[in-house]
Amino acid sequence: MKKLISIALLSILLSQTMLAQTTPQVFTKGAMNNMGPTYDIKVWLDTLPDKSNLFAMGPYDKMKGEITVFDGKPFFASAFEEGKAVVSQSWDIRSPFFVYSNVKNWEEFNLPGPLNSVQQIEENVAAIAKNKGYDLKEPFAFRIGGEFDQMTAHIVTPRSPDIEGYRPDIKSQNFTLENEKGEILGFYSEQHQGVFTGSKSFIHVHYLRDDQTFMGHLDKITTGNRSLKLYLPKKQAPVETGMRVNDTDFSKGRLGYIQTIDLDDLVKFHGHLCDGLVVGHLALQQAMEQLYPDGLIDRTNTRVVSKASPCLTDAAIYDTGGRYQFNSFYVSDAIDGLFVVQRIDTKKTVGVQMKNGLKPKEIDQLGAIAVKGELPTCDLDKLKNLEDDFTETLLSTDPKKNFIVTEISDFNWNPILKSTYIKTDIINKNALKCGK
Ligand SMILES: [Zn+2]
Ligand SMILES: [Zn+2]
């Protein structure tokens, strides 16, 4: 029964990520409700792995103002002097809670006026999104562009005297704006109250004036009957995980038996869906695209060196057809990156690695403790959730951006037989359930 349930969960995850059209994922760091009295910093913007087409918002530093990232441009605004907003740009800034999403393509819709409150923005955005087939259960970014009759926006100010810009008894500076031209950036979510939306709201909205002389958190709005433009993230085609492979057609047969192998085939072979397996599969897909530009992978003509992880080695032999006993597969932790893949006929060789910073560090930190068998049972579940989130990221973002393939000109194929690697994915097989 247990097994049935986990297989069902896996197939839901696979079908959600692979079949359904999705909007770009919304990520969070820290939470509004967990900032605490000292507004501990939860993210350095510098360290965000992918800043292209980034849209984001959060408080600037320890309540020194507001951050809004518009299409990869990091604006931060502060109001250290009464009535005066100063807008600057830098990646070298920090935030105590942060929401962000990389959105490359947007779909434009008409948003009829009037909009006379932030609440109405929420209702109208939800209505249009729902009508256009967006899943309101999934968080998404949105933008509203146009001219606005009146707005009230605020910029928060520091709460403690040791922070630059502190003014006694002032927690934020309000601004009344008229005849504005600019853009509102918002994040919609029905499940992030207290994280990045208030307790009674499903949206968090910031405003940036067209000439970039003002930016702040939007509290009130009056648009009159003007019609505005609403932009929603374009739904993405899911990441293509299939590989077309060419094999022989029977035990003594000829080359030409062509089939498509997919991630779920590999999952059955490996035993479970895990982030390492997805990393391996997508990395090999990228590597083999370089070796077989026509898209047909000859599994009788490919050999591979893999790092020792149980997930990577399984992906390597399944996807490439390489086997140790035929001198077409071996394991080495001395290679750069994840795999070295070679075409036997031309000797063309490529190495493939994952982009630095893509994998959340916590996965490797908790993973290292789990491999020692020392991770508490409830933390095993936490680690699984982190890995599932990472899997989802990998299956909804362009693998071309996530993996780097480099040609190796003088690769020395040097098979070693070593059978002392540790199968790390069975170490905790008898761990108790969380809470038991
Ligand atoms: Zn805000
Ligand atoms: Zn695995």
The 3-class SS string of the chain reads CHHHHHHHHHHHHHHHHHCCCECCCCEEECCHHHCCCCCCCCEEHHHCCCCCCEEEEEEECCCCEEEEEECCEEEEEEEEECCEEEEEECCCCEECCEEEEECCCEEEEEECCCCCCHHHHHHHHHHHHHHCCCCCCCCEEEEEEEEEEEEEEEEECCCCCCCCCCCCCCCEEEEEEEEEEEEEEEEECCCCECCCECCCCCEEEEEEECCCCCEEEEEEEECCCCCEEEEEECCECCCCCCEEEEEECCCCCCEEEEEEECHHHHHHHHCCCCHHHHHHHHHHHHHHHHHCCCCEEECCCEEEEECCCHHHHHHHHHHHCCCHHHCCEEECCCCCCCEEEEECCCCCEEEEEECCCCCCHHHHHHHHHHHCCCCCHHHHHHHHHHHHHHHHHHHHCCHHHHEEEEEECCCCCCCCCCCCCCCHHHCCCCCCCCCC
Average pLDDT over residues 304-317: 98
Q: What are phi and psi of 380, to 5 degrees?
A: -60, -40
Is it the case that residue 389 has pLDDT exceeding 90? no
Q: What is the reported pLDDT for 227? A: 84
Q: Is the pLDDT of residue 20 over 70?
A: no
Architecture (CATH level 2) of domain 24-233: 2-Layer Sandwich (3.30)
Percentage of the chain beyond pLDDT 90 is: 85
Ligand 1 centroid – CA 255 distance (Å): 61
CA of 100 to the centre of ligand 1 (A): 12
Q: Which ligand is nearest to the CA of 198?
A: 1
Judged by its nearest atom, the ligand closest to the C-alpha of residue 314 is 2
Query: Please, which residues have CB less than 5 A from ligand 2, an ion?
Result: 274, 311, 425
Residue 382 has a pLDDT of 93
Q: How far is the CA of 352 from the centre of ligand 1 (A)?
A: 40
Do the beta carbons of residue 61 and residue 41 sit within 8 Å?
yes
Ligand 1: centre distance to CA 389 (Å): 25
Q: Which ligand is nearest to the CA of 267?
A: 2
**Cα(217) to centroid(ligand 1), Å:** 4
The model's pLDDT over 156-184, given as tens digits with 9 standing for 90+, comes to: 999 999 999 999 999 999 999 999 999 99
Q: Which ligand is nearest to the CA of 95?
A: 1
Per-residue pLDDT of 239-291, as tens digits, reads 889 999 999 999 999 999 999 999 999 999 999 999 999 999 999 999 999 99
Q: What confidence category does residue 236 fall into, taking pLDDT thresholds of 50, 70 and 90?
A: confident
Compute the distance from residue 226 Cα to the ligand 1 centre, in Å: 25
- Look at the alpha carbons of 384, 390, 395, 396 in this order and tell me if their dihedral is positive or negative: positive
- Read off the pLDDT band of 225 (50, 70, 90): confident
Read off the pLDDT of each residue in 7-26 and give the average, rounded to a whole number.
59
Write down the pLDDT at residue 46: 94
Angle at 235 between CA 222 and CA 276, to 5 degrees: 125
219 CA distance to ligand 1 centroid (A)? Answer: 9
Ligand 1 geometric centre to CA of 181 (Å):
19
Q: How many angstroms is it from 124 CA to the middle of ligand 1?
A: 20
Among candidate residues 302, 317, 299, 313, the one with its CA nearest the CA of residue 348: 302
Q: What are phi and psi of 140, to 5 degrees?
A: -150, 155
Residue 2, pLDDT score: 37
Cα 332 to middle of ligand 1, angstroms: 49
Beta bridge partners of 160: none
In the structure, what pLDDT confidence band is assigned to residue 12 with cuts at 50, 70 and 90? low
Structure-model confidence comparison of residues 218 and 436, the more confident one:
218
Whether the pLDDT of residue 1 is over 50: the answer is no
The one-letter code for the residue type at 180 is E
pLDDT of residue 355: 95
Looking at residue 78, its pLDDT comes to 98
Mean of pLDDT values over 37-50: 91
Query: What mean pLDDT do residues 381-400 have?
Result: 90
114 upstream amide cis, omega within 30 of 0: yes
The pLDDT assigned to 83 comes to 94
CA dist 420 and 309 (Å) reads 12
At 235, the pLDDT band (50, 70, 90 cuts) reads: confident
Contacts of 132 (CB under 8 A, 6+ apart): 107, 109, 232
Give 319-354 pLDDT, tens digit per residue. 999 999 999 999 999 999 999 999 999 999 999 999
* 99-138: pLDDT as tens digits: 999 998 899 999 988 999 999 999 999 999 999 999 999 9
Phi, psi (deg, nearest 5) at residue 299: -80, 0
Alpha carbon of 239 to ligand 1 centroid (Å): 32
Strands 228-233 and 140-156, how do they pair? antiparallel
CA triple 133-134-139, angle to 5 deg? 170
Ligand closest in space to the Cα of 280? 2
Angle of helix 263-270 versus helix 310-320 axis, rounded to 10: 130
Among all bound ligands, the one having the nearest atom to the CA of 279 is 2
Nearest-5° Cα angle at 408, 407 to 409: 110
Q: Is the pLDDT of residue 11 over 60?
A: no
Inform me whether the pLDDT recorded for 306 exceeds 50. yes
Query: In angstroms, what is the span from residue 65 Cα to ligand 1's centroid?
Result: 9
Residues 375 and 369: their CA atoms lie apart, in Å, by: 5
With both helix axes pointing from N to C terminus, report the angle between 263-270 and 2-18 in degrees, rounded to the nearest 10.
Answer: 160
Residue 6, pLDDT > 50, answer no
2-15: average pLDDT: 47
- As beta bridge partners, residue 199 has none
CA of residue 363 to ligand 2 center, whole Å: 13
Q: In what order do the strands lie in the sheet with 255-261?
A: 255-261, 243-248, 296-298
Burial of 77 (0-12, 13-18, 19+ CB in 10 A): buried
CATH code 3.30.1330.80 region(s) in the chain: 24-233
How far is residue 65's CA from residue 217's CA, in Å, rounded to a whole number?
10
- Cα(264) to ligand 2 centroid in Å equals 13
Average pLDDT across the chain, whole number: 92
Find tokens 């709201």 and name the residue: 201
Q: How far is the CA of 205 from the centre of ligand 1 (A)?
A: 6
Contact present, 30 and 57 (Cβ < 8 Å): no
pLDDT score, position 14: 54
Phi and psi torsions of 260, nearest 5°:
-105, 125
The pLDDT score that the predictor gives to residue 242 is 92
Fold of the CATH domain 243-426 = 60s Ribosomal Protein L30; Chain: A; (3.30.1330)
**348 φ/ψ angles, rounded to the nearest 5 degrees:** -60, 130
How far is 50 from 112, CA to CA, in rounded Å?
34
